[in-house]
Amino acid sequence: MAHRRSRLPRLLAALLAGAAATLAAAQDDYPSRPITLVVGYSAGGSTDSVARPFAEVFGRVLKARVVVENFAGAGGAMGALKVVTAKPDGYTLLMGGNGELIATKVMNPKQPYDGLKDFAPIGVVNHQGGMLLASRQSGVKTTDQFIQLLRKNPGKYNYGSSGNGSMFHFAGELVRERTGTQVTHVPYRGVPALGNDLAGGAVEFGYMGTGPAKPLIDAGVVVPIAVTSGTRAPIYPNVPALAEHPELKGYDLTGWFALMAPKGVPESVMAKLKAALKETLKDARLRQTFNDLGGLPMIEDEDLPRLMREEDARYRKFVATANLETQK
């Protein structure tokens, strides 16, 4: 019996060593199977339009297939929650943005995840501005016409966005607050549905990213009124910024996209993901694709955790300033 007991610690040590070796080997082999890149919005939206070309190059760099999975709902929060609760092995990642990573939590304190605490940030992928669009039926062509129409008809008109708590929900509410107008927010499950309603005149105004707005503008089915970034977008030099209007000076709302992993992913895997991201963003064709979508100039080695903290503070200030009602 004593002999058996003396062997037990050695046996346990051997088992633990074997398990550690297996885990280390698995991490060294990463990635050995396809990676799922979750997008919390429907296909065709701003995040999706960035995620798909990114996934192609990212997969090539990692020598693995990267599959984009759209999991829409709750302003991107459903997709984010799917990643937060996934096994932290590096095979489920999120292409997230300031909506589902910051704004939705600000609007709904009871949201079951916290973008600042429950993810392992890999890095910033791209920054992209938004646009205020009008239906052709509205007859509006300028920011001033838009403001005056709302002012003369309080509560009559609607604007759409990609969901409650999304960046573009905030975009509309900030304009409403700054101009003292009354307009109703209509949340959509995705940009394609909003685009269809704008084109058909079912909703008069809408905010969306410059990327998904481009085919609508090119087809002539909507009217570009202004961009939400502080300066004009390179792909739309003739479209003014909202900030150019006297009542909206200093207005600047820009979206960003970041690659995130669930908290707890091994450091060796995180190192591979960060290196692959850096290499991916050097791809000239991808950079051109982002530019064509209205992407803003890239910032090398941008501090993502710092960006997220700053955005959290900014969105909380937005809520207080615009008197937005948060969920209790």
Question: pLDDT class for 21, splitting at 50, 70, 90?
Answer: very low
Dump pLDDT digits (tens) for 192-208.
999 999 999 999 999 99
- The vertex-63 CA angle with 62 and 67, nearest 5°, equals 80
Query: Cα(77)–Cα(39) distance, rounded to whole angstroms?
Result: 10
Residues 6 or more apart whose CB falls under 8 angstroms from that of 71 comprise 38, 39, 40, 78, 79, 82
Of 133, 130, 49, 108, give the one whose Cα is nearest residue 315. 108
* Structure confidence by residue, pLDDT tens digits, 237-251: 999 999 999 999 999
CATH code, 129-248: 3.40.190.10
Residues 6+ apart with CB under 8 A from 227: 129, 130, 131, 132, 210, 233, 236, 239, 240, 241, 242
| Token reading at 49 | 């339009």
Which of 166, 159, 160 lies closest to 74, judged by CA? 166
Q: Residue 233: which of 180, 296, 281 has the closest Cα?
A: 296
- Residue extent(s) of CATH 3.40.190.150 domains in the chain: 33-127+255-322
49-85 pLDDT tens trace: 999 999 999 999 999 999 999 999 888 999 999 999 9
Separation of alpha carbons 19 and 3, rounded Å: 25
Q: Which pLDDT tens digit goes with each residue over 159-173?
A: 999 888 888 999 999
Whether 312 contacts 116, CB under 8 Å:
yes
Tokens of 211: 């990327």
φ/ψ of 68, rounded to 5, equals -80, 125
**Where in the chain is CATH 3.40.190.10?**
129-248
**pLDDT recorded at residue 75:** 84
300, pLDDT greater than 90: no
Q: Which two tokens stand for residue 23?
A: 């885990």
Contact 125, 281 (CB under 8 A): yes
Quote the CA–CA distance of 204 and 274 in Å, as a whole number. 42
* Residue indicated by tokens 């890149």: 37
Going by the DSSP 8-state scheme, the letter that residue 269 receives in this structure is: H
Strand 205-209, strand 158-161: pairing: parallel
Cβ within 8 Å of residue 206, ≥6 positions away? 132, 133, 159, 160, 161, 168, 194, 195, 197, 198, 222
Domain 33-127+255-322 of CATH type 3.90.1660.10: no
pTM metric for this prediction: 0.84
**What six digits make up the tokens of 106?**
């600000």
d(CA 119, CA 84): 7
Residue 274 has pLDDT above 60, yes or no: yes
